[in-house]
Amino acid sequence: MSIEHVNVTLVNEPAAPRPLARFARWLAVAAISGALALLVVGVAAFAYFSRDLPDFSSPEQYRPSLVTRVLSTDGRLIGEFGLERRRVVPYDRIPKRLVQAFVASEDGSFFEHDGIDYLGMLSAVLGKVVRGGKLRGASTITQQLAKSLLITAQGYEKATERSVKRKVGEAILARRLEERLTKEEILYIYLNQVFLGHGAYGVQAAAENYFRKSVSELNLAEMSLIAGLPQAPSRYSPFVNPKAARQRQEYVLKRMLEEGFATKAEHDEALRLQVEETVHPRDDRFRDTSPYFTEHVRRYLYDTYGEKMLYTQGLTVETTLDLERQWYAEEALVNGLRKVDHRQGFRGPLLRGSEQQALAIAERYEREVLKGAELDPEELYVAAVTEVKAQQARLKVGKRDGLLHLGGMRWARKPNPLAWWESHKLQRVTDALKVGDVILVQPLSAEKLKKLDGNWDILRDLPKDDSVQLFALQQVPLVQGALISLDPRTGYVQAMIGGYSFEESEFNRAFQACRQPGSAFKPVVYGAAIELLEYTPSTIIVDSPIVYDDVEAEKRWKPANFELDFKGDVTVRTAITNSMNIPALKTGIAVGVDNLRMFARRTGIETPLKQEAGIAIGSSCVTPWELTLYYAMVARLGRKVEPIFIKRVIDRDGNVLEDHTSSRDPWVDQDVRINRRYATLDHIAPSVMDARDAHILRYLMTQVCLHGTGAAAAALGWQVGGKTGTTNDSFDAWFLGYTANLVTGVWVGFDHNEDGPLGVREQGGHTALPIWLDYMKRALRNVPKLWFATPAGICNFAVDKQTGLRIDPSNRRAVVVPFRCGSEPKDHNAGGSLPTGTLFRDEEGL
């Protein structure tokens, strides 16, 4: 067989791999492994850098920190509590020009980029790695928003640390925002989130902060000033640095012109307005409007809802505060305390030095405080005394010249609580002041100065024109006071002040000061006697000396009347009208100390009373608040008044968390009033005293305000019930009184008795009642008069005012008095009862 015909099966053996093929294969494997490794590392890195990033997929998830807003009864802002002062406004309510101002100045390519300035980021990271030091880099609006959201989520320190991790995390969040939100939605969040200085977050808060406007009311000049703030709110603050604010505003307007967002005419017009010079300092509504009231509300909210809810969740709190009445109350109390303080004398200047030292203080005062502002006649100012004569002193108030006339400081005698001020008025300015003194003064007109002092001989040398500003001498009173005013029909607390100055002392004397009430406690004593012992206005009490042995205190006590005399047999009506101590003490002993204490607690006096007979004439302390509530109970015919400070609390989503709105509230619509009436049908305030007994007590208190120690209250022109109170040595003075629709209590005294006493003739009727009357006249101006209604079961009889026996109504000694029907005096020489309503007209009221 030839070789060609042999079938041979060949086995293919692998050829030796070529070097290049081996390398390619290795490279492919390495590449795949590297990619997988990089993927793993990338995923790990992404997970690492993405930790704790806030998740935003829709604008509805934007739930920023909001302030709690506290409103008066008519919806006006009286206080804010929060970490970030912000009011979120929808995008469509933000002016287009304001959006353009921010875009032009902060991120001109905002609508083109995908959220990150890559070149700026790369430069910043390389600079950090290569050169070390701080990490810097340009930020888009989206990146700025991401940073702000990180601060909210992670805290300021962590979210602003200069690290690669923080910057990468910020970039990741920025990209997420761009992927999940539209540009308009990003701007909506940014313009509500951005910090714009002085506690303002977002454009609405900034508009209110700087211009006292809504954001929709801003003009182009104002918009450009606000848009210049994000880069450095402190540096560009128009309050702190108006020149820098102006330069930044010019830059914003220039950028708007370059981007076509404003015409040259609009640009020039905005610059001409110079709004950086007309900005208004932010109002501190909490401290300036009603600080004691608002702080009381804040404490309740904190205790009820907690710190986070109060300061970050944007509650809306509708209160019962009537702003006008609050202002009237503040003016009445402040002016009244100053008058009391003046009657005590002048305690000396703030500082006493050389004329040069005083003038240096005046210059500094102008530079740091006044800053060229106009003087407010209601405010007090620091003045340097530059010249003193017998009838006048020359002053420097900042850079202004002024004149302090003797007529504006006649009160400035040396303090002497034993001398009546009226007979010890200052005769010469030189007796009180020297050149170089620094004092407090108040601007006033010549007409007002003449009202301060009617001595025309002293005032004849007043300047004939208005070229010189006149001032009156003032000082910060040591004496303190409190005022509470509420509507007994609704329980709404409409005004409340706890002291002369919240800035000087946050101690709320309305609630926290426990003071001896003196005779202001006697209505509690007679209320207990009417209810427990069936006393009537004609009940006879013997006003005669008494010696009382206090077994527990191991001492003998011999009380006396204020007038230091005794009247013999007197009626209850006479005793309370003239505020007689011995009859009140004997009544309290007849009731029994334990019974009196229990009655007081049941009717609203919560402070524990002493276990002693002296409580009948006010020896045991009570707070102005609880005593005012007792008087409100009497005004409401024995029905306990449940006081309300807060009408409604509403969360940020509009959910009502609590509702105490009265069906009588004039500030809500009729449907709400009807609904509230149905809602409260099953909750009626409890009666703690029979209406007939309360009516008799109320009648007795009207006699105090017609014929007794509170007779000055009759000048109000309304039907008024009330009672004065003065403690031993005049350390405390009270007047609490009410009409059918308003109950007001006033206390005047010292925080510490060692600062007292108030002085000669300083009693409830002379010290506290004028404050009450000043407030009530204004509070009830243009309010229709209401009369006290008479409950069923009351019969009116004419009785002898001295003996309490029934008498012919035509007798000149006759007074018409209410009795529980059947409890009237039986030994009479007159006819039947007078018609119900003779004393208290049966009209709407209490």
Strands 555-557 and 548-550: antiparallel
Q: What are the counts of helices (DSSP H) followed by strands (DSSP E) for the chain? A: 27, 24
Residue type, 144: Q
Point out which residues pair with 53 in neighbouring strands.
Answer: none
Contact 772, 709 (CB under 8 A): no
**Closest by Cα among 46, 657, 627 to 304:** 657
Beta bridge partners of 492: 644
How far is 73 from 326, CA to CA, in rounded Å?
11
Residue from 80, 84, 106, 531 carrying the catalytic annotation: 106
Nearest Cα residue to 627 out of 521, 724, 740, 731: 521
CB contact at 8 A, 471 and 444: yes
Provide CB contacts within 8 A for 846, sequence distance 6+: 488, 489, 635, 636, 637, 740, 741, 786, 788, 789
The position carrying tokens 């509300």 is 297
* DSSP characters over 750-814: -SSGGG----TT--IIIIIHHHHHHHHHHHTTTPPP--PPPPTTEEEEEEETTT--B--TTSTTE
Contacts of 572 (CB under 8 A, 6+ apart): 526, 529, 535, 536, 537, 538, 539, 541, 583, 587, 700
Q: Is 178 a catalytic residue?
A: no
Distance (Å, whole) CA 59 – CA 81: 25
Looking at the DSSP bridge assignments, the partners of residue 79 are 70
The letter for the amino acid at 631 is Y
Query: Which tokens in the block code for residue 695?
Result: 């009516």
Of 763, 736, 761, which is closest to residue 749 (Cα–Cα)? Answer: 763
- Which among 290, 519, 620, 730 is annotated as catalytic? 519
448-459 CB burial, b ≥16 within 10 A, e <16: ebeebbeeeebb
Task: Look up tokens 């505003």; give the residue.
Answer: 249
HSE-up (13 A, CA, CB side) for residue 602: 16
Strands (E), 606-742: 646-650, 656-659, 721-726, 732-738
Structure tokens at 345: 């004398």
Contact of 582 with 543, CB cutoff 8 Å = yes
Q: What is the DSSP letter of 318?
A: E
Q: How far apart are CA 724 and CA 717, in angstroms?
A: 18
Cα 404 to Cα 382: distance, rounded to the nearest angstrom: 13
Pairing of strands 316-319, 200-201: unpaired
Alpha-carbon gap, residue 191 to 489, rounded angstroms: 46
754 catalytic residue (yes or no): no
Instruction: Compute the distance between CA of residue 754 and CA of residue 752 in angstroms, rounded to an integer.
Output: 5
Gap between the Cα atoms of 311 and 768, Å rounded: 38
d(CA 179, CA 172): 11
Amino acid at 107: D
Tokens representing residue 205 in the block: 């808060």
Encoded amino acid at 731, one letter: F
Residue recorded with tokens 């047999």: 569
What is d(CA 584, CA 529) in angstroms, rounded to the nearest whole number? 10
The residues assigned a catalytic role are 106, 519
